[in-house]
Amino acid sequence: MSDLNMSVKEALTTAIEMEKKGYNLFSDTAQKADEELAKEVFTFLATEELNHIKAIEKFNQESLSGENTSVDEVIAEIIDNRPRRTINELFKNLSGTVPLEGTNLDAYKFAMDFERKGGEFYKKAETEAADPGAKKLFGFLVGEEQKHFKIVESCLLYFENPEEFFHQRESWHMEG
């Protein structure tokens, strides 16, 4: 039997369920979206959630079976399976004007809250994990949730304050 404590096992099971809910939420939102940015962003997020599910399930199965789990391989699989079209490419193609209809603001706000809560869950799981591999995986997932939050936050900013959105985008290019 594995040396994982019960709290890590519970956290992994909860993580899988949470990621599945995220996948379903983002997939449904992408299908129902009435403008292209929302479709693409929520499709991207759904794909990310699916990659997280596969990685967490793999880590969980290997840990439960007592196999020597390489968390670095699990994380590398998440990174390798990312959608090829990056969010930066989506943002680069946005025009300076915001569509007047179909902005899906409530969906973006809900997604931000979902990602924020996911990050909080993973941070707590990381803090409580005794297993070094689980601790590293949860830490990685904290970063993933924070990244997703920033993506959705940028989309919301694009609709609510396009001038500030483009100002920030210009700053990104000047700094890096």
What domains sit in the chain, N to C, each tagged with a CATH number?
Answer: 6-175 (1.20.1260.10)
Centre a 10 Å sphere on the Cβ of residue 44 and count the other Cβ atoms it contains: 20
Per-residue tens of pLDDT for the chain, all 176 residues? 344 544 788 899 999 999 999 999 999 999 998 888 888 899 999 999 999 999 999 998 888 777 777 788 888 878 777 765 555 665 566 555 444 444 578 889 999 999 999 999 999 999 999 889 999 999 999 999 999 999 999 988 988 888 888 888 776 555 54
User: How far is it, in rounded angstroms, from Cα 136 to Cα 72?
Assistant: 9
Task: Using alpha carbons, list the distances in angstroms from residue 35 to 6, 78, 90, 145, 162.
Answer: 44, 28, 13, 24, 16
Residue 37: what pLDDT? 84
DSSP 102: -
Q: What is the pTM of this model?
A: 0.81
Residue 22: what pLDDT? 94
Write out the two tokens for 129: 């994990």
